[in-house]
């Protein structure tokens, strides 16, 4: 039985993990967290793996973030922190994954979906995708360590512009801000086209790819990225039970 994350073996030592809740715009729930963690743990020890792709099932969404309806049931700071820190820990593992990671953004990428994409080394998007750290519109900050990771990946002023505005951006704007590395024109078979582009950008020498990734991993470990992410997550948990967040989520759910 296919779970909430599909594993697809590609040629040349590349594996694709596909978030698999297309009817929910690939929103993250607890089962998807568990599946993602299990796959990352299993793949981390592979000697033949050269690169990892994270993408979404279907044509509409990479990931719309956390499942708002499900997580709205978390009513205390402790409950919120347990969920947020669980996913934050998974994204820290993705940040420090031993081979290059590529977010293949196949559509809507919002909130926590942007945090997942940020944890990857490279971000390739389908033309027309909507991208945004929109958590502020729900009275929250990034909840899975996304701000700490974003500040490691792009220029400070661009990262802060993205975070402080809580705006949605189109792919051209996201390229200008440094968040998206490459845009692929709309293609009926986007996942296949995306894989072809990824294959072109990677040298066919697994040891070289892993060695370069270790340079970044050493930096992030020495700067105690994990602790910074967890402090950020605690700040989000503090905001979780405040009226501003509760009312914003209720308005969002009622509008839907």
Per-residue pLDDT reduced to its tens digit, 30-52: 999 999 999 999 999 999 999 99
CATH of the domain at 177: 3.90.226.10
Per-residue pLDDT reduced to its tens digit, 192-229: 999 999 999 999 999 999 999 999 999 999 999 999 99
Domain count, the chain: 1
Whether residue 152 lies inside any domain: the answer is: yes
pLDDT at 256: 59
Whether residue 254 lies inside any domain: the answer is: no
**At 188, which helix (H) or strand (E)?**
none
Whether residue 251 lies inside any domain: the answer is: no
Q: Is the dihedral of CA 45, 47, 48, 51 positive or negative?
A: positive
Whether residue 226 lies inside any domain: the answer is: no
Token pair of 246, please?
């509760």
Rounded Cα distance, 115 and 188, in Å: 26
Which portions of the chain are predicted below pLDDT 70?
A: 1, 256
Whether residue 120 lies inside any domain: the answer is: yes
Predicted TM-score of the model (pTM): 0.97
124 forms beta bridges with 104, 182
Which structural domain, as residue segments, surrounds residue 64? 5-201
Whether residue 230 lies inside any domain: the answer is: no
């Amino acid at each position: 039985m296919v779970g909430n994350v599909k594993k697809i073996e590609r040629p040349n030592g590349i594996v694709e993990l596909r978030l698999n809740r297309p009817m929910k715009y690939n929103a993250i729930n607890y089962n998807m967290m568990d599946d993602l963690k299990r796959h990352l743990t299993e793949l981390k020890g592979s000697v033949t793996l050269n690169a990892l792709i994270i993408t979404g099932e279907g044509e509409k969404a990479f990931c719309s973030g956390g499942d708002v309806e499900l997580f709205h049931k978390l009513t205390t700071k402790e409950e919120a922190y347990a969920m947020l820190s669980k996913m934050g820990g998974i994204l820290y593992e993705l940040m420090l994954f031993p081979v290059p990671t590529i977010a293949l953004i196949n559509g809507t990428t919002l909130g926590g979906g942007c945090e997942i994409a940020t944890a990857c080394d490279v971000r390739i998007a389908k033309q027309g995708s909507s991208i945004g750290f929109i958590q502020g519109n729900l009275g929250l900050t990034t909840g899975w360590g996304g701000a700490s990771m974003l500040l490691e990946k792009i220029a400070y002023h661009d990262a802060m512009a993205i975070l402080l505005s809580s705006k949605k951006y189109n792919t051209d704007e996201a390229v200008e801000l440094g968040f998206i590395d490459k845009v692929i024109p709309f293609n009926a078979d986007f996942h296949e086209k995306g894989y072809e582009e990824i294959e072109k950008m990677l040298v066919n020498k697994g040891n070289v790819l892993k060695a370069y990734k270790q340079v970044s991993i050493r930096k992030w470990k020495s700067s105690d990225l994990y602790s910074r992410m967890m402090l950020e997550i605690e700040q989000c948990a503090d905001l979780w039970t405040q009226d501003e967040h509760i009312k914003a989520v209720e308005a969002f759910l009622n509008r839907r």
